[in-house]
Structure 1
Amino acid sequence: MRVRGTPGAPRHGRRALVVIAALAVALPLAASSITGIRPNVTSAAPAATVAPSPDPAPAGPVTAEDRRILVRAESLLTRDCMTSAGFQMWLGTSPPADELLSFPYVVDDIGWARRHGFGSDLVQAVDARRRADPNQRYVSGLSPQRRQAFLAALNGARPEGLEARLPSGGVMRRSAEGCTSAAQRQLYGGLTEWYRSSKVVADLTYLRQRRVLADPAWTAALRPWARCLRQQGYTADTPERLRESVGPRGRADEIAAAVAEARCAQEGLAATTRALDAHHGDELTAAYHQDVAAKNRLEHGAIPRARAVVAAEH
């Protein structure tokens, strides 16, 4: 789970105001949280929107259930590969449903706000699971030499062989060797195309959110929202400033402020945000349609293999 900041902040914390997204959804193994397992990112000009060749019949995204199967299959393949390399690895577990909800602009679910405020309790829960992660404990208990061998077996010795130029600028690189790449190659076939297209499409989420927050319609919709907040005793003019005003004053204050934020969002900000998010999402999908289509095609093609891997687990 991540709670991210606003545009203009450093790369690791700039994407959104509140985002609840569990590691187990984005990453196939609990070991993904192990210190030292990170992608290689360097600066570069934004990626071009033109890919080498169009996909003849672009497929839509896979279903949530199929995506769950893909993640599970990749986890199993990676674990088996690491076992063959002489290491232990445990699979991650799916997070609770409330952790899967994301509010990148404003909390607009009153029930969720009453349960979680701005999500500080969920952040603590994820941190607790990370500390209890058997993969983390296992790797921490290895000798320095053995730990380095574990990371090399998982990710490859050097971040070379795979590259993706991100639409927002910068380049991500990863080794084409190691068990992560072996599992993805077995599932998706074209590892180079999969790595590039999946990273490009993931980066579109950041771009979409940045465009929404910079849209004049978003700024205009904040004004009546802020007036509503003032009627409830808060003077913040953005969701970010509301969180800052609450600060560490306690759980009850956090929940009260989050409920006020969500209630006031019902007066127009929530609907405007959904419309802007869809509009900018459609524009970016069209601009990077070849990467989007390539990722969808590769995922659809991988589903039969993933189902076979998951079935063999039982």
Structure 2
Amino acid sequence: MRVRGTPGAFRPGRRAIVVIVTLALALPLAASSIAGARSGSTSAAPALTVAPSSDPGPSGPVTAEDRRLLVRAESLLTRDCMVRAGFQLWLGTSPPADELLSFPYVVDDIAWARKHGFGSDLVKAVDARRRTDPNQRYVSGLSPERREAFLAALNGARPEGLEARLPSGGVMRRSAEGCTSETQRRLYGDLAEWYRSSKVVTDLTYLRQRRVLADPAWTAALRPWARCLRQQGHTADTPERLRESVGTRGRADEIAAAVAEARCAQNGLAATTRTLDARHGDELTAAYHQDVAAKNRLEHGALPTARAVVAAEHQ
């Protein structure tokens, strides 16, 4: 199942390879705070890919092309704001297509598994790009005082002013000042509503995946998958334990295990996963329909400004 993932790293025990988020701008050290929520929630979490709405009007989600437009416009506006504040910021490029795939339940793409195993090679490529990222080099080269000023200009001095209560528990906060907020205010208008709705909708990804993995239908579908896996020479009752069994034995073993996982997923687990993911996604979208609708509405409303900003880039 191909679902947009969150930034992460390959390690034994992960249920899925999670590689990178498409960003047109690599921003270092984004500042936000979270109280009482799960580990790993940050303000840089990617947008939830929910089941497409049957309503083709503005209440539905924007297209993938429009979302890329919004990301590009936000990148340009943030860069220009930082330049006005006396700092430099470089625009990034989208990563290769293979890095945009993640498998939060089970690897089910045999060709991808043959090429990448569980994705450790992609994580290494991401890490290599981060080490050479001009924004990271620039910030690292600033004095402590200038670095603090850079982060304050980007994110605001303190994570105060914006708040989102997450469906999974906890509260996220961010400054209403700084270039990030200035940019989003210009694009989306109501910054407080944008911050709240976007964080709530992002959190639904985590909830959806957690519900799928707790669903009895998922557990039942694992049994024939595990039997198939044993016939392939691997002993594991979940994808997570398969990764643990591979450990750090080497690239060849990683690829062999990933191919076996993907091949055995074709015997029903992949289809069950798609069904459960869609069902729980629909249920969560319905339960939080006001937040989903608000985010969609604000994104549609931001498109005219985004088009003008991107068009101005080429003038």
TM-score, normalization by structure 2: 0.89
TM superposition shift of 1:58: 6.4
TM superposition shift of 1:304: 1.1
Q: Assess if the C-alpha contact under 8 Å between 2:19 and 2:123 holds in 1.
A: no
CA–CA separation in structure 2 for the residues paired with 1:44 and 1:104: 20
Q: Assess if the C-alpha contact under 8 Å between 1:5 and 1:17 holds in 2.
A: no
Question: Residues 102 and 279 (structure 1 numbering): CA distance in 2 closer, same or farther, change over 3 Å?
Answer: same
2:21 is the alignment partner of 1:2: no
Specify the code of the residue in structure 2 equivalent to 1:81. C
Structure 2 residues without counterparts, runs of 5 or longer:
1-6, 39-56
String of CA shifts for 1:287-310, please: whole Å, max 9, x gaps: 000000000000011111101100
Q: Between Structure 1 and Structure 2, which shows a larger proportion of helix residues?
A: 1
Q: Assess if the C-alpha contact under 8 Å between 2:90 and 2:135 holds in 1.
A: yes
Question: Residues 4 and 219 (structure 1 numbering): CA distance in 2 closer, same or farther, change over 3 Å?
Answer: farther
TM superposition shift of 1:43: 1.4
CA RMSD between the two structures = 1.8
The equivalent of 2:53 in structure 1 is none
Structure 1 residues without counterparts, runs of 5 or longer:
7-13, 46-56
**Superposed counterparts of 1:8-47, under 5 Å:** 17-23=15-21, 25=22, 27=23, 29-31=25-27, 34=28, 36-43=29-36
Q: Assess if the C-alpha contact under 8 Å between 2:58 and 2:300 holds in 1.
A: no
Specify the code of the residue in structure 2 equivalent to 1:17. R
TM superposition shift of 1:22: 1.9
CA–CA separation in structure 1 for the residues paired with 2:62 and 2:10: 27
TM superposition shift of 1:37: 2.3
Specify the code of the residue in structure 2 equivalent to 1:304. P
String of CA shifts for 1:118-172, please: whole Å, max 9, x gaps: 0000000000111111000000000000000000000000000000000000100
2:87 is the alignment partner of 1:87: yes
CA–CA separation in structure 1 for the residues paired with 2:193 and 2:30: 22
Q: Assess if the C-alpha contact under 8 Å between 1:117 and 1:255 holds in 2.
A: yes
2:311 is the alignment partner of 1:280: no
String of CA shifts for 1:13-55, please: whole Å, max 9, x gaps: x9x72243424x2x55212xx2x4232100179xxxxxxxxxx
Question: Residues 130 and 98 (structure 1 numbering): CA distance in 2 closer, same or farther, change over 3 Å?
Answer: same
Specify the code of the residue in structure 1 equivalent to 2:31. R
TM superposition shift of 1:66: 0.4
Q: SS where residue 124 of structure 1 aligns? A: helix
Identity of aligned residues (%): 82
Count of aligned positions:
290
TM superposition shift of 1:102: 1.5
**Superposed counterparts of 1:131-170, under 5 Å:** 131-170=131-170
String of CA shifts for 1:91-111, please: whole Å, max 9, x gaps: 121010001111000000000
CA–CA separation in structure 2 for the residues paired with 1:91 and 1:121: 24
Specify the code of the residue in structure 2 equivalent to 1:41. I
Q: Assess if the C-alpha contact under 8 Å between 1:3 and 1:17 holds in 2.
A: no
Q: SS where residue 94 of structure 1 aligns? A: coil
The equivalent of 1:206 in structure 2 is 206
String of CA shifts for 1:33-92, please: whole Å, max 9, x gaps: x2x4232100179xxxxxxxxxxx861111111000000000000000000000000012
The equivalent of 1:54 in structure 2 is none
Q: SS where residue 284 of structure 2 aligns? A: helix
Q: SS where residue 276 of structure 1 aligns? A: helix
